[in-house]
């Protein structure tokens, strides 16, 4: 009788272990089945918190794990050119068009925009507050006051260079400094050292409480518009690209639901939206 009872207990134990093993294997299989994709994007969308709002929903809907690589737009576009990402969310239209024309990217869509603003110390030592943006850069150059640039070939850096070229201003003055860092870190440096800086409005608003020494000194100039586009890296050009999820992410950002989220993002916390959607227009 004891031997029979022992045998029954052994069978029950083995059955339980087998069931637990099957459950574990099943969970591991489900995890292994989750797809993966890489989103290369500018630091402005990342620093603003917008992707924290949108990406988890996309992951749930598509059963995909999204790896976000937040770098300057120039670096993000280079990743696309090498097939090292599946989707790109960036803000340098001329460079984006070159990537599409070269065949490395497809399905480029206009998602949203905000604008750039020019920040400076409260006392405005270069007296730029009544000038347009080109005149502002000229005044800073002539006054040789601190100006901080990302210097990283980002969308913001590209915009800065285009304005400097239009204003016929060289970066040879002693107080011009490149950080080589993202927008948030460069803004903090400018705030600590009381310098001027060009930034997108969304990142500025999201960090405004940390930038007490800086004010908006120039805004509203037509040249300061800042459009964002999303696109796929071309799966026909690169075998490792996840074309299905890359396309799905483009479509996701263009849906009415997501455009509505973008439209109000930041309003409650900052009193105004950080971005303005365009796909529903």
Is the confidence at residue 6, as pLDDT, over 70?
no
CATH of the domain at 147: 3.40.190.10
Same domain, 220 and 121: yes
Q: Are residues 230 and 104 in the same domain?
A: yes
Q: Which helix (H) or strand (E) holds 233?
A: strand 225-233
The reply to whether 91 and 164 lie within a common domain is no
* Structural domain includes residue 26: no
With a cut of 80, say whether residue 16 has pLDDT above it.
no
Q: 119-139, pLDDT tens digit by residue?
A: 999 999 999 999 999 999 999
Does residue 12 register a pLDDT over 90?
Answer: no
Expressed as residue numbers, the domain containing 180 is 115-224
Number of domains in the chain: 2
Any alpha helices (H) in 67-182, and if so which ranges? 73-81, 93-101, 133-143, 155-167
pTM of the model: 0.81
C-alpha to C-alpha distances, 91 to 36, 46, 116, nearest whole angstrom: 24, 13, 11
Both 110 and 239 in a single domain? yes
Q: With left for phi above 0 and alpha for psi between -120 and 50, is residue 180 left, alpha or beta?
A: left
- Please give the Cα distance from 264 to 54 (Å, whole number): 13
Does residue 243 have a pLDDT over 50? yes
183, 199, 224: which is the final residue of a domain?
Answer: 224
**Which residues fall within 8 angstroms of residue 189, CB to CB, at 6 or more apart?**
148, 179, 181, 195
């Amino acid at each position: 009788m004891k031997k029979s009872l022992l045998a029954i207990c052994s069978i029950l134990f083995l059955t339980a272990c087998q069931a637990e093993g099957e459950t574990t294997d099943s969970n591991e299989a489900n995890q292994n089945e989750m797809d993966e994709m890489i989103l290369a994007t500018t630091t402005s969308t990342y620093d603003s918190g917008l992707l924290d709002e949108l990406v988890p929903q996309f992951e749930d809907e598509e059963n995909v794990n999204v790896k976000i690589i937040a770098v300057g737009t120039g670096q993000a576009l280079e990743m696309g050119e090498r097939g090292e990402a599946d989707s790109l969310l960036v803000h340098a239209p001329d460079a984006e068009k070159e990537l599409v024309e070269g065949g490395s990217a497809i399905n480029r869509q206009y998602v949203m925009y905000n604008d750039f603003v020019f920040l400076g110390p409260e006392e405005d030592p270069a007296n730029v507050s009544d000038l347009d943006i080109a005149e502002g850069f000229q005044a800073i150059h002539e006054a040789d006051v601190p100006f901080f640039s990302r210097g990283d070939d980002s969308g913001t850096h590209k915009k800065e260079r285009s304005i400097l070229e239009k204003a016929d201003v060289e970066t040879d003055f002693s107080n011009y400094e490149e950080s080589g860092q993202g927008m948030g870190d460069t803004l903090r440096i400018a705030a600590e050292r009381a310098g001027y800086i060009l930034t997108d409005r969304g990142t500025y608003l999201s960090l405004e409480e940390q930038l007490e020494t800086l004010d908006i000194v120039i805004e509203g100039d037509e040249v300061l518009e800042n459009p964002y586009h999303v696109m796929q890296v071309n799966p026909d050009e690169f075998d490792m690209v996840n074309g299905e999820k890359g396309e799905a992410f483009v479509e996701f950002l263009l849906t009415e639901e997501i455009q509505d989220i973008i439209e109000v993002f930041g309003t409650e916390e900052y009193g105004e939206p950080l971005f303005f959607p365009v796909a529903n227009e």
